[in-house]
């Protein structure tokens, strides 16, 4: 059997590849937890590769993405991101001026996030053996004391908060790739969220769970959390923030905003008593201005995600199947 594009999509096919080939080969207790970052000896440790096409897009480029993605994975694991590595794979013939632009973005994003790039690697491959440039970053963060981000801490009655509008990143990349025009204001939400997350955790160290809402979108993240916690998650369609233009874009191309990748959005599961406080913190932050409380954790049905629609019906939100959108990040 051959690897298909869908195996990289973050949905069911990715999960099959992981459980079928990758985990059996490399099994250990830390890896098996499959968190956004591994936690080892008081540290959070993570890595991610970036193959986005196009390399430059409204709201960012591959360099900014490579820093923000790894920083956010550390931050949602309850860590303070500290150090990143940067590995470049460049295709022969790539313009040096473009490389400079990308490295400037890396530097700017690292400064904004308060992390240092402390090690790296550069490889060049022949023409046609890579599509311009790929980047890998790995990151280390210090776990924040008194914070435990874990699906085990999710309880019925807790509230679900999303930090802003869904689908902006995917819509931007897709539109750019297919030469479709999106209105002026629509751009990738790519952003380092570690400072905002630190503020949230200061306001409520008891936040049960956080995830960044990347590949597979909110549908994927909530299904994973429902399964991991053995509880149900019920969200309200009318409360989920999606820009009008992004919704129209989805309607035309047959995408579901709940399944679109984001690069600057997190979902948090928080105790009911501190939901309002956390929302206030989020809304006071540039990356959380449109944060919303979108639903709650329920006792039953176990392991399922439900969506209350505007006509008052509740329908099931399933895990996205494969890959609708390759090379989104």
Partner 1 sequence: MDTSELIKKINRLAEGKKKLRIMEVCGTHTVAIFRAGIRQILPDNVELVSGPGCPVCVTNDDYIDTAIAYALEENFIVATFGDMLKVPGSRSSLAAAQAQGSNIKVIYSPLDCIKIAQDNPNKKIIFLAVGFETTAPTAAATVLSAQAKGLKNLFMLSAQKLVPPVLKFLLNSPDFRVDGFLLPGHVAVVIGADAFNFLSIPSAVAGFEAEEILLAIASVLEQIDNGRAEVANKYPAVVTAAGNVTAQKILSRVYEVADSEWRGMELIPNSGLRIREEFAKFDIEQVEPVKIEKVKKKNACRCGEVLRGLVNPTQCPLFGKACTPSRAVGACMVSVEGVCAAWYKYGSNNFRW
**By the rule CB under 8 A, 306 interacts with partner 1:** yes
- What is the separation of C-alpha 219 from the centre of its chain, rounded to a whole number of angstroms? 12
Judged by beta carbon, residue 6 or residue 264, the one nearer partner 1 is: 6
Token reading at 120: 């790296």
Among 13, 115, 140, 201, contact with partner 1 (rule: CB under 8 A): 13
CA-angle at 163, arms to 49 and 103, nearest 5°: 35
| Residue 113 and residue 194 in contact, taking contact as beta carbons nearer than 8 Å | yes
> Does 321 help bind partner 1 (rule: CB under 8 A)?
yes
The distance of closest approach from Cβ of residue 259 to partner 1 in the complex, given in angstroms and rounded to an integer, is 10
Q: Is 10 helix (H, G, I), strand (E, B) or coil?
A: coil
Burial of 326 (0-12, 13-18, 19+ CB in 10 A): middle
The answer to whether residue 309 forms part of the interface with partner 1 (CB under 8 A) is yes
Smallest gap from residue 232 Cβ to partner 1 (A): 8
Q: Binding of partner 1 at residue 216 (CB under 8 A)?
A: no
| Binding-residue pattern over the window 222 to 241 for partner 1, x denoting contact by CB under 8 A | ------------x-------
Q: Which is nearer to partner 1, 288 or 306 (CB)?
A: 306
Work out whether 59 is an interface residue with partner 1 (CB under 8 A): no
Pick the stretch among 7-15, 188-196, 265-273, 282-290 that binds partner 1 (CB under 8 A).
7-15
* Sign, Cα dihedral of 194, 196, 306, 174: negative
Residue 12 found at the interface with partner 1 (CB under 8 A): yes
Q: Where are the beta strands (DSSP E) in the chain?
A: 38-40, 43-50, 56-57, 60-61, 79-91, 116-125, 133-143, 159-162, 209-212, 232-236, 266-270, 292-298, 305-308, 314-316
By CB under 8 A, residue 284 contacts partner 1? no
Number of residues that bind partner 1 (CB under 8 A): 28
User: Footprint of partner 1 on this chain (CB under 8 A)?
Assistant: 2, 4-6, 11-13, 16, 178, 180, 234, 253-254, 301, 304, 306-307, 309-316, 318, 321-322
């Amino acid at each position: 059997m051959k690897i298909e594009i869908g195996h990289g999509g973050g949905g069911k096919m990715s999960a099959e590849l992981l459980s079928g080939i990758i985990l059996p080969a490399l099994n250990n207790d830390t890896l098996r937890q499959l968190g956004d970052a591994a936690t080892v000896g008081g540290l959070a440790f993570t890595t991610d590769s970036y193959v986005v096409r196009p390399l430059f897009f409204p709201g960012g480029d591959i360099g900014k993405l490579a820093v923000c993605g790894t920083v956010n994975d550390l931050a949602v694991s309850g860590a303070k991101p500290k150090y990143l590595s940067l590995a470049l794979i460049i295709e022969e013939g790539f313009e040096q001026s473009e490389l400079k632009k990308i490295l400037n973005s890396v530097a700017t994003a690292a400064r904004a996030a308060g992390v240092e790039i402390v090690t790296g690697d550069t490889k060049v491959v022949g023409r046609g053996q890579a599509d311009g440039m790929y980047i890998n970053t790995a990151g280390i963060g210090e776990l924040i004391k008194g914070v435990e981000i874990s699906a085990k801490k999710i309880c019925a009655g807790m509230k679900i908060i999303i930090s802003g509008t869904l689908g902006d990143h995917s819509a931007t990349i897709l539109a750019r790739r297919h030469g479709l025009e999106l209105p002026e204001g629509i751009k990738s939400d790519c952003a380092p969220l570690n400072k905002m997350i630190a503020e949230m955790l200061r306001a409520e160290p008891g936040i049960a769970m956080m995830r960044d809402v990347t590949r597979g979108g909110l549908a994927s993240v909530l299904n994973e959390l429902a399964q991991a916690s053995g509880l149900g998650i019920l969200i309200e369609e009318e409360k989920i923030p999606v820009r009008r233009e992004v919704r129209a874009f989805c309607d035309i191309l047959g995408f579901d905003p709940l399944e679109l990748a984001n690069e600057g959005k997190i979902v948090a599961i928080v105790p009911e008593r501190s939901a309002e406080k956390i929302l206030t913190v989020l809304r006071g932050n540039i990356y959380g201005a449109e944060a919303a409380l979108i639903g709650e954790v329920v006792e039953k049905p176990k392991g399922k995600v439900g969506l209350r629609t505007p006509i008052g019906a509740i329908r099931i939100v399933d895990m996205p199947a494969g890959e609708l959108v390759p090379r989104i990040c």
